[in-house]
Homo-oligomer: A and B are copies of this chain.
Amino acid sequence: MTYCVGITVNDGLIFASDSRTNAGVDQISAYSKMYRFFGDGERMFTMLTAGNLATSQAVVRQMRRDLDSGAATNLKTLPHLAEVADYIGSISLAAQRKHAGSKEEKFDAGASFIVGGQIAGKPPQIFLIYPEGNHIRATARTSYLQIGELKYGKPILDRIVEPKLDLETAARCAMVSMDSTLRSNITVGPPLELLIYRTDSLLPGEHIVFEEDDEYLRTLRGTWQEGLMKAFEQLPRLPSSAPQHPVRLVDAPGDQ
């Protein structure tokens, strides 16, 4: 599995991804799932991938070929980020269809993508591209998008993320969300990659790779665990015991 998250705040964009891929529990490897494009003062894109690794690699390969060959439609020519999302969706669908109808019925070539960034003169945006090729955009009300093993890391995002967060805080929240996921699911693992993009910079942004034994990551984990324990200890105690009367032989709600 995978866990990737993209956050949009007023100050810019945050991307975070893990690096574990597995095809069964005895075939685990580390692959980067963060692909960075440009940052040349004109446009900057970052793409995160989840799902079938062959499909996501095929998509990246095609994107590069289109760039190299100067195809009519490529990352350099598309005028809007939504069209970049469309473009990625259609390559993804084509890549998946190649392998449809294979023998294995349970085979799933599906892949999901988060793509975000900025094109000069336009606002920074983040899109989520579904395996079906269609996409949705993060907005001020729903200012983060996730792909892969997303549920473990969602509660902290729901509690913290809002458009007025500064970039460092939003990035820290993404790292905590990553850490909760790592802790609860062994198919998500380090190194973790983080990219912080400042609105209108049109630069590649700050790209940080955290290895498993990274000191910051270790401190973050320890401090967060301690803080959570302290928050938990400070919770109000449950209302004091009700008297324990035996219930009816079968005291269950609902009809008989």
Contact = CB atoms under 8 A, between A and B. Distances in A.
Interface of A: 31-32, 34-41, 57, 60-61, 63-64, 67, 75, 151-152, 154-156, 158-160, 168, 171-173, 175-176, 180, 183-184, 194, 196, 201, 203-208, 216, 219-220, 223-232, 234-239, 241-242, 244-247, 249-256
A193 B54 CA distance: 46
Contacts of A168: 237-238
Contacts of A75: 250
Contacts of A173: 232
A242 B158 contact: no
B223 A227 contact: no
12 contacts: A32-B253, A34-B253, A37-B249, A57-B255, A61-B256, A67-B250, A156-B232, A159-B228, A204-B245, A220-B236, A227-B231, A227-B234
A90 B247 CA distance: 26
A242 B184 CA distance: 31
Contacts of A34: 253
A256 B220 contact: no
B242 A206 contact: yes
Given A158-B184, A203-B244, A235 B223 contact: yes
Contact of A231 (B38, B41, B67, B228): B228
A183 B230 CA distance: 21
Given A216-B239, A236-B223, A252 B206 contact: no
B216 A224 contact: no
A246 B40 contact: yes
Given A159-B229, A228-B228, A36 B234 contact: no
Given A171-B238, A203-B244, A242-B208, A225 B159 contact: yes
Nearest to A47: B252
**Which 3 A/B pairs are nearest by Cβ-Cβ distance?**
A227-B231, A151-B151, A32-B253
A242 B208 CA distance: 8
Contact of A172 (B235, B253, B254): B235
Nearest to A65: B256
A180 B156 CA distance: 9
Contacts of A156: 228, 232
B223 A234 contact: yes
Contacts of A194: 238
Contacts of A57: 254-255
Nearest to A179: B155
